[in-house]
A and B are shown apart, each in its own frame.
Chain A
Amino acid sequence: MSRSDTSSDFGETVRRAMNLSNPGLSRFDPLPRIITLDEFSRGHCGWSQLVGNYENTLDTMLPGYAQHTSAMLSTLPHWDAGSHGGMRGSYALKIATRPHPGAQNVAIKRLTFRKRGPIRFEAYFTFKPEATELKLGETDVRSVGFLFDLQGGDRDDGAERVMPHLRFLNAEGGQHLQKWQFKNETTKFQPVGDGEKTLSHYHLAPEGWQDLPGGSQRLCYNEIATKVNWSYLRFDFDLAEMKALSFQCNDRVFDMSGFDSIRMPAMKNLWCMLNFCLFAETDVARRAFLYVDSVCISGDF
């Protein structure tokens, strides 16, 4: 072993020890560089509403985007049991749909990257329907999930816009399906307004989702509509190869060899884009709530 290897091993040991002794980081397993650590007891941490493109009038916004609303800071207050709270503080980020079947809502964090290499997205999340009935409602939430929206740098050869999507399809049409899905196609781009300057596409349209091989998973879904438990997810993606590396949810690590992202030619104004989205979708005429306790985004640089 060379001297530099020994020094590197020592550095890694120190880094890991410091992370494990830090109560805010210890529940994550970040890559060496922490890009952001979002604990929603400190505020929205840059997670805002995904607004659709428009030109001249808001009427040009695609309906998929027009339905989106602002995320909230929530104590998970239940009518029967009071506030559930977060894992380490009082608040979580809450992404709520409107109350009609198929309604979606998306929160987004918009960054750019400075190094094309591996990044890691970790989060603690849970979901439930609005507790308007005294029933479990285990098939009310259609899906919850996340996506990245990425584009190479302006001097990269063959740069693409790449959008890895993963959702937990909880239920559809009343069937309790409980499986992870990805999609590698989006809807057709269309101009909004009266020119070609602004384009839009709704990449969360219901069509085109495919089952992740081996992606069935039963999550902890507690016994009434107002009991929730936090779950862990981790998604590793390589910005150099624009390829998914691994995905884990709680105790399960999934094979990503069959996964692919939505890919399209680079757009003229999105260089080095590094966007992260979290979304929820309801299957019934009842609001679906995605709660996120915390998010850690890290990179190997």
Chain B
Amino acid sequence: MLPENITAILARNETWSGEAASEPYEAGWAREAIVFVRALKDPVGPAPLARIEISPDGMHWVPEGTEMPLPSQKDGMAVARLTHFGSWLRVAASFEDDASCTVLVTLHLKA
């Protein structure tokens, strides 16, 4: 049987501001992941770095170490390649006051 390989949508048309994060995604079966973040609208204010976070339980989160600059214009893309992330993944970002970005966050996993 071919190894599992799926695309999950972590956030679709969500406007992120302040302390923002995707919903937790359980992916302990996957050996590798790529995360894409696409701006669906022109962002407002400065685009922060987004960070990949991992967790022992889906409730307590720590930075995995990978960061990516969020897009500064509509249809701009950010990407992160990941391995060795354990059981849980999410994408988080800290926006300055009055800054925001409407995002499509997709997670591409392979066993």
Contact = CB atoms under 8 A, between A and B. Distances in A.
Contacts of A91: 29
B14 to A, nearest CB: 9
A203 interface: no
Interface string B1-25: 1001010111011000000000111
Contacts, number: 53
Given A58-B13, A75-B28, A70 B8 contact: yes
Given A72-B27, A77-B28, A79-B57, A61 B87 contact: no
A80 to B, nearest CB: 9
B23 A98 contact: yes
Contacts of A173: none
B96 interface: no
Contact of B57 (A49, A51, A77, A90): A77
Interface in A75-117: 75, 77-79, 90-91, 94, 96, 98
Given A59-B13, A69-B23, A94-B26, A77 B87 contact: yes
Interface in A2-58: 42-44, 49, 51, 58
A98 B24 CA distance: 10
Nearest to B86: A77
B91 interface: no
Contacts of A77: 26, 28, 57-58, 87
B30 to A, nearest CB: 9
Nearest to B6: A44
Contacts of B25: 70, 72
B59 A70 contact: no
- The prevalent SS among residues of B at the interface is loop
A73 interface: yes
Contacts of B6: 43-44
A132 B59 contact: yes
Nearest to A65: B12
A70 B26 contact: no
Contacts of A43: 4, 6
B97 to A, nearest CB: 24
A96 B25 CA distance: 9
B49 to A, nearest CB: 24
Contacts of A75: 26, 28, 87
A45 to B, nearest CB: 11
Interface of A: 42-44, 49, 51, 58-59, 61, 66, 69-70, 72-75, 77-79, 90-91, 94, 96, 98, 130-132
28 contacts: A42-B1, A43-B6, A51-B12, A58-B12, A58-B13, A58-B40, A61-B13, A66-B12, A69-B10, A70-B8, A72-B25, A73-B4, A73-B26, A73-B29, A75-B28, A75-B87, A77-B26, A77-B57, A77-B58, A78-B57, A79-B56, A79-B59, A91-B29, A96-B23, A130-B59, A131-B57, A131-B59, A132-B59
Given A75-B28, A79-B59, 4 more contacts: A49-B9, A72-B27, A75-B87, A77-B87
